[in-house]
Amino acid sequence: MEEYGHFIGGKHVAGKSGRDQDVMQPMDGTVRAKVALASAAEMRAAVENAKAAQPAWAATNPQRRVRVLMKFLELVHKEYDALAELLAREHGKTVPDAKGDIQRGLEVVEVCIGAPHMMKGEFTEGAGPGIDVYSMRQPLGVVAGITPFNFPAMIPLWKIAPAIACGNAFILKPSERDPGVPMRIAELFLEAGLPAGILNVVNGDKEAVDAILDDPDIKAVGFVGSTPIAQYIYSRATATGKRAQCFGGAKNHLIIMPDADMDQTVDALIGAGYGSAGERCMAVSVAVPVGKETADRLVEKLIPRVESLKVGPSTDGSADFGPLVTAQALERVKGYVDLGVEEGAKLLVDGRNFKMQGYEDGYYMGGCLFDNVTRDMRIYKEEIFGPVLSVVRAETYEEALALPNDHEYGNGVAIFTRDGDAARDFAARVNVGMVGVNVPIPVPIAYYTFGGWKGSAFGDLNQHGPDAFRFYTKTKTVTSRWPSGVKDGAEFVIPTMK
């Protein structure tokens, strides 16, 4: 059986805390590996290692740093299939979906190859008599990322790549549910030429997280997960003077206007609502048809599509989605479906009793579809994180717009319509961070930034794109004057450009 310790100083290090946890294989419910859970002392050892290695890396010019990223890309592509299968087996998503997980991470790595340009400062000659002013971006030092189970390749890469391209050393605390791919990523970076100690992977639970938040040598922390944990990490990190970007839960709406192409809309809802068993922070979990006729047509087309979804093991490339990540996750999602029935929503398709032949111990669930969900129900208010789609009917466009605007979360939203004026008005007025127009999962491309609003995000800067370089650097501004020909004598007023 595989045993995951930690990756510190360019080496695999066995856990010393005496605590570990099973890593399950969701498709059959077997124990795949054991993962060590770090103590605060083990986290501190990783930080000290990173702190010692970082100055030399920061002194390496940006162009040479990004050559490591280029080599890393080459190495990942050579073992793409093996990484995807490892990811699928530990997470539960299908292998094709796992390849998408990896690819979206690599796209951020590709953008970070532009770090020499993104880190350029500004220069003004002659800002005053004999005075030049210029700025420079410098790395923070040691930074950390706490990443979730649902994207074990993509989100670590979203954080690692810009952080190390800027000259920082990075501590990664991945999810203990599927640590295999993050550990392999660290090995590949070392093989690509990254100096030992610049990327350290420390597996663990809350003890490791708190050690990150309290360590005075960690200058910034990024997190993706649930909103309560995002709030906790943001509050504790900022209280100790750290920069923090923390991304939480979501309840993503898709508004369907009466003029929308209904076949295109249904395709979008099926893929965005049920892909990866709904375990995506950008999954569409609420469909909002405008008008009774639109709602009736939508539901009529959705029912047979949800009923015919193919659920299969992670290794079945033809499956629409695989199992949920853990037995606890499965029971949680089933509990929400039970709750929806109790609350009075109409369960049109019930996937609770799905069993996968030959994989009876796996964490499988069929797709579920609710109609007549109302905004006061918990299944509408709360993030379910499973293959469950709720239809919330709206009589008018304004009523539909009010739903995402008033919701606690503000991660992603979409509108499907043929009307450019309606789409333009929606994009301008909706109170959500990422908006799709006839695009169901509006995850921005890698050279834009990713981030929600309201209860979905805490912190001033988003992930990837230009914000990543701002987050992982500090700006120093230099005002320079050389003494030749400059009048002597003290000045007692604040300098101005007069």
What CA–CA distances, in Å, run from 445 to 160, 164, 283, 383? 17, 20, 17, 25
For residues 410 and 454, the answer to whether their CB atoms sit within 8 Å is: yes
The per-residue DSSP string of 364-412 comes to ----EEEES--TTSHHHHS---SSEEEE--BSSHHHHHHHHHHSSEESE
For residues 295 and 348, the answer to whether their CB atoms sit within 8 Å is: no
Out of 112, 166, 246, 281, which one is annotated catalytic? 281
**CA atoms within 13 Å, Cβ hemisphere of 322:** 29
Strands in 473-481's sheet, in edge-to-edge order, are 123-128, 131-139, 473-481
User: Going by DSSP bridges, is the β-strand pair 131-139/123-128 parallel, antiparallel, or unpaired?
Assistant: antiparallel
For residues 136 and 166, the answer to whether their CB atoms sit within 8 Å is: no
**Residue 166: active-site member:** no
- The count of other CB atoms within 10 Å of the CB of residue 35 is 28
For residues 26 and 323, the answer to whether their CB atoms sit within 8 Å is: yes
Between CA 264 and CA 260 the distance in angstroms is: 8
Q: Residue 4 has which token pair? A: 């995951």
Give residue 158's Cα distance to chain centre: 8
Of residues 249, 231, 250, the one with CA closest to residue 239: 231
Give the 3-state secondary structure percentages of the chain, helix then strand then coil, rounded to 5.
Answer: 40, 25, 35
Instruction: Report DSSP state, residue 256.
Output: E
Torsions phi, psi of 357, nearest 5?
-60, 130
Q: Locate all alpha helices (DSSP H) within 113-226, ordered by sequence.
A: 115-118, 154-165, 180-191, 206-214
Between CA 465 and CA 446 the distance in angstroms is: 6
- Geometric angle at alpha carbon 328, from 323 and 331, rounded to 5°: 80
Burial of residue 343 (CB within 10 Å: 0-12, 13-18, 19+) is middle
Burial of residue 269 (CB within 10 Å: 0-12, 13-18, 19+) is buried
As annotated, the active-site residues are 281
